[in-house]
Chains A and B, each alone.
Chain A
């Protein structure tokens, strides 16, 4: 229990420290409850998108199609909302996400080519499907009465349920063990009787459920989803992907479900912080890149740092003894 509390405190320290930095820089603009609440709300969709990416990522699959699948799902959801209302939007978004996910997963299984290549090619195709579906205006818009998941408390409820679902699939199912086995060593996993191709396919399809949820929330929060072409959809996944990488760093002290949220929350503090500080938005990328690089360097070298600390301790002991 004590360890859990210490770890929780450690995890929370990350966003708290970043928040305090910006609080010092721009106290007036950053010291209001609305600011924190907005950061929280903005964290939800990228967190769920990151959940979608996490399944494939853990299996070692690199998936460029996430953004394009999210667009297709959002567009189909939006189109069906106009026809069948809320039910149309929900079913349309989730089912289309699953269908496109199955296509991706099955092609990955059958073709047996590197996922990076396959998903890059598929993204080019999916983007065009998305833009064709979006029709004349290049985007679909929903009636505000169907946007019930876009604001609090509904968006928070959906988020909590999604996080619970993610946690359950990711930690409490046989599939999750298989997924981790495939991710850590596919050859060993295969030799132990795990159907690795099926697991990889499943990981893409399971992730698709979260893509569907993210699409529904995007439609509900933004009121519209626009088509992307020329690999423009790829950029949608970069920030959620960064939160997964940071969450993997935090994994030693907290579960991935919470880690992804905390990492995304921290990234959003930086985003709003820079705006509040009146800095040009171009700084976002610079800070984001530096932040990612520093965290990854610290993570990858934690063993070395620990070693250095130990050496210093030994040296100090030796010095004090002499």
Chain B
């Protein structure tokens, strides 16, 4: 009994220590009126991309002296609605999130309109025409930044077709996610145009063992497969796992591998020549610009006076191991791809009245790995 009590006391002490170690301290800045941006994001996820997304949003908000308020989310539609409700109750002035689907947006708009809170989206476009029209009419929708998922998927399939791929096994994130659906659509279009046969698509793989199993099953069931395309995945270490499965079946190099969204290991395989093509690189700039759009709206200097601001980032292409290493260092490090000071000078209209859509589009068009390296290399 004493022992159990001791264990319980020990656990209580450990608990108290961990609780207080997690308290974060936000910076205190000035200039525009102090404001708070709510950001539902899964801070329990240790994937460096997820961490870098948080860092980039934080840099944008703090560039104008704002405070970022995070609530932990599972990124599902109902989870996000609860998060938005919570953030509204915490008196935020704007909310930035990654929509789980188009159909949840009217509910978000209604909640934000009732509370008088601006909201913005990141990574996702609004595909549904009716919903897009309704949201664009809303005075509370600030807009957002996203990549052109459909074109990106279509082009990567065509690019793989140029490498000789005719039969493609596909991996994607869960259905229902706007990006997942658009990438599926784009891949199908690209495949049709280039005459590529999509053999099968597997969704929502989250652990490496399932990734191995899927690739091995593809190899076994589709001997004709000569390409694997990862349209998206939340599985950490996806590419090493795929490469390992291919190597174990003596298929490394024979089966071409492509991936949308960069990950940390691509450099090694580009060097070996067993990985072939990756489009992406927007996981940092998208949230950063999305936050910038929202911040500008919240502090009363919107980039576009009438209606929401929508910026589309062009995808980058990773072609060399050196670029991959630079990506790891400069995109996935502790710093945002634009520092808070750079954002303040270049993207916050309060400080730079020249900012408008053309200005932003020009700025985004110069964004590349080399550009970030040049600005941030010491």
Which A residues lie at the B interface, using CB under 8 A? 26, 29-30, 32, 34-35, 37-39, 41-42, 45, 107, 110-112, 128, 131-132, 134, 136-139, 141, 144, 147, 150-151, 218, 221-230, 232, 235-236, 271-272, 275-276, 278, 280-282
Contact = CB atoms under 8 A, between A and B. Distances in A.
A35 B219 CA distance: 8
B269 to A, nearest CB: 11
B216 A38 contact: yes
A30 B208 contact: no
Contacts of B237: 137, 139, 141, 222-226
Contact of A281 (B46, B203, B264): B203
Contact of A272 (B175, B209, B221, B235): B221
A51 to B, nearest CB: 16
A29 B7 contact: no
B236 A138 contact: yes
A275 B240 contact: no
B265 interface: yes
Nearest to A284: B202
Nearest to A37: B220
B76 to A, nearest CB: 12
B222 A110 contact: no
Tell which of A35, A138, A271, A282 has the most Cβ of chain B within 10 Å.
A138
Nearest to A26: B221
Given A222-B208, A226-B237, A151 B44 contact: no
Nearest to A134: B46
A151 B248 contact: yes
16 contacts: A35-B221, A38-B217, A38-B220, A42-B213, A136-B46, A137-B237, A137-B264, A141-B237, A222-B237, A225-B208, A226-B207, A226-B235, A227-B46, A227-B236, A276-B217, A276-B221
Nearest to B203: A281
Interface residues of B, number: 44
B217 A272 contact: yes
A111 B240 CA distance: 41
B211 interface: yes
A17 B309 CA distance: 59
A35, A39, A136, A280 interface centre (most CB from chain B within 10 Å): A136
Contacts of A138: 45-48, 236
Given A29-B221, A150-B248, A218-B208, A141 B240 contact: yes
B61 to A, nearest CB: 23
Given A138-B48, A141-B265, A282-B203, A223 B220 contact: no
Given A221-B248, A223-B243, A34 B209 contact: no
A228 B234 CA distance: 11
A111 B4 contact: yes
Interface in B1-59: 3-4, 7, 42, 44-48
A218 to B, nearest CB: 6
Given A34-B223, A222-B212, 20 more contacts: A29-B222, A32-B223, A35-B220, A42-B213, A107-B7, A111-B4, A112-B4, A132-B46, A134-B236, A136-B46, A138-B47, A150-B248, A221-B244, A222-B244, A223-B237, A226-B208, A227-B46, A227-B236, A232-B206, A281-B202
Given A136-B48, A230-B74, A236 B220 contact: no
B247 interface: yes
Contact of B241 (A112, A128, A224): A224
B218 interface: yes
Nearest to A214: B209
A122 B336 CA distance: 35
Nearest to A71: B207
Contacts of B218: 275
Interface in B209-257: 209, 211-214, 216-223, 235-237, 240-241, 243-245, 247-248
B157 to A, nearest CB: 19
B137 to A, nearest CB: 36
Contacts of A280: 201
A229 B44 contact: yes
Q: Which of A29, A222, A276 has the most CB of B within 10 A?
A: A222
A218 B44 contact: no
A221 B242 CA distance: 10
A270 B220 CA distance: 13
A29 B221 CA distance: 5
Nearest to A220: B244
A24 to B, nearest CB: 15
A131 B74 CA distance: 17
A151 B248 CA distance: 6
Interface string B264-299: 110000000000000000000000000000000000
A268 B74 CA distance: 30
B6 to A, nearest CB: 9
B200 interface: yes
A45 B209 contact: yes
Contact of B45 (A26, A42, A132, A229): A229
Interface pairs A-B: 5 shortest CB-CB: A226-B236, A223-B244, A224-B237, A276-B221, A38-B220
A229 B213 contact: no
A227 B201 CA distance: 24
Given A150-B244, A222-B211, A222-B244, A271 B217 contact: yes
Contacts of A45: 209
Contacts of A278: 199-200
